Amino acid sequence: MKKIGLMMMMAAFGCPAAFAGSVHKKNDDQVSYMAKQDFKADFPNINNVRWSRDEQYSEASFVKNNMPMHAFFDWNGDLTGITHQVAYSELPESARKRIAKDYRDYSVENVILYKDNEDNLNDLYPLVPYEGPVNYFVSLKRDDLPEHSIILQVTPRGNVSFFQNLR
């Protein structure tokens, strides 16, 4: 399974372990004209945008309503999804209880909300298998082994599943 899309998503929020996947971002000049135009159409009032590109996606990093966000675009310039960091308390209560029980040796590092653009079939699936258009990704760091981190996927219904190891 290719993990570049998720690695970009995690790297966007400062998860150092995400770089273990050898994501090499390229600069703004590699981003397609269509991605930039689609971004302007989707986010017309956003002016300060930082662009990067990997082998699969263009990433726009920006701030909207005082919230850092990231939008991902495919090779055709079509929006595939949007991410932003959320508070752990925004996860469904059943998910927080399960994480507390099953991962008590871990501390929460980040929680990222991923909103899929269901109109685009070139989204992060199968990189990010999901039940619906919204999913949470929780990075946890093991308390006794700080170099060991994992990512859990949480659905809006509160289903929790292991997603991947980060080292």
Q: What is the pLDDT of residues 14-29, one digit of tens each?
A: 554 443 333 445 555 6
* CA–CA distance, 42 with 39 (Å, rounded to integer): 5
Percent helix, strand, coil in the chain (nearest 5)? Answer: 25, 35, 40
Structure tokens at 87: 């508070």
> pLDDT per residue over 126-158, tens digit each?
455 555 678 899 999 998 987 889 999 999 999
Q: 3-class DSSP state for residue 52? A: strand
- Range of 49's domain? 4-166
| Cα separation values, 28 from 35, 49, 51, 74, 152, Å | 11, 10, 5, 15, 31
Q: What is the CATH number of the domain that holds 38?
A: 3.10.450.360
Does pTM top 0.85 for this prediction? no
> pLDDT per residue over 83-125, tens digit each?
999 999 999 999 999 999 999 999 999 999 988 876 655 445 4
Q: How many CB atoms lie within 10 A of CB 138?
A: 24
Question: Total domain count for the chain?
Answer: 1
